[in-house]
């Protein structure tokens, strides 16, 4: 089962600025943004550390929700009974583009993960994943955050 929006010690991998996973996440974000003419994002180790903290917390607590009162944008992805690749995670968020109508600036269903991906004013991203017991929780944090009511993403 895959969700968008833990037990014991989590296995985790931090996406540091030099890792192939961080490069993959950054390139995949950039490809989605390029489709609508938005510039690529810069990788932030600070946001990656924040994402890792939240992914570990959600896994340990067996929960799945956005960090309360965050000053950053945030995309979440969860899979149970399998593993996901960076491409699968970003593709799941990007697939919400079919629910977004630019002309009316409205969503039909869920599209907030997509609009955060392509948000014009966002400059940095940092992502992480926590894994344990057949469950993965992926978190990406964005600065500045997107999805301001009434404002178009691009």
Phi and psi at residue 130, to the nearest 5°: -120, 135
Closest-CA residue to 6 (of 49, 50, 63): 63
- Compute the distance between CA of residue 76 and CA of residue 117 in angstroms, rounded to an integer: 12
1 within 8 A of 81, measured Cβ to Cβ: yes
- At residue 83, the 3 state secondary structure works out as coil
- Compute the distance between CA of residue 7 and CA of residue 2 in angstroms, rounded to an integer: 18
Residue pLDDT tens, the chain, 154 long: 344 442 223 333 444 445 788 999 999 999 999 999 999 999 999 999 999 999 999 999 999 999 999 999 999 999 999 999 999 999 999 999 999 999 999 999 999 999 999 999 999 999 999 999 999 999 999 999 999 999 999 9
145 within 8 A of 64, measured Cβ to Cβ: no
Task: Evaluate if pTM is beyond 0.75.
Answer: yes
């Amino acid at each position: 089962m895959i969700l968008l929006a833990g037990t014991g010690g989590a296995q985790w991998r931090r996406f540091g600025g030099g890792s192939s996973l961080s490069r993959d996440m950054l390139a995949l974000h950039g490809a989605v943004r390029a489709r609508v003419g938005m510039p690529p994002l810069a990788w932030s180790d600070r946001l990656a550390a924040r994402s890792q903290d939240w992914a570990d917390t959600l896994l340990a607590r067996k929960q799945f929700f956005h960090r309360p009162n965050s000053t950053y944008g945030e995309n979440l992805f969860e899979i149970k009974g399998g593993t996901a690749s960076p491409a699968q995670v970003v593709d799941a968020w990007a697939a919400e583009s079919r629910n977004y109508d630019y002309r009316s600036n409205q969503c039909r269903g869920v599209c907030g993960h997509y609009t955060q991906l392509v948000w014009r004013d966002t400059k940095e991203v940092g992502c992480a994943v926590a894994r344990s017991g057949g469950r993965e929780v992926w978190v990406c944090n964005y600065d500045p955050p997107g999805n301001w009511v009434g404002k178009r993403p691009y």
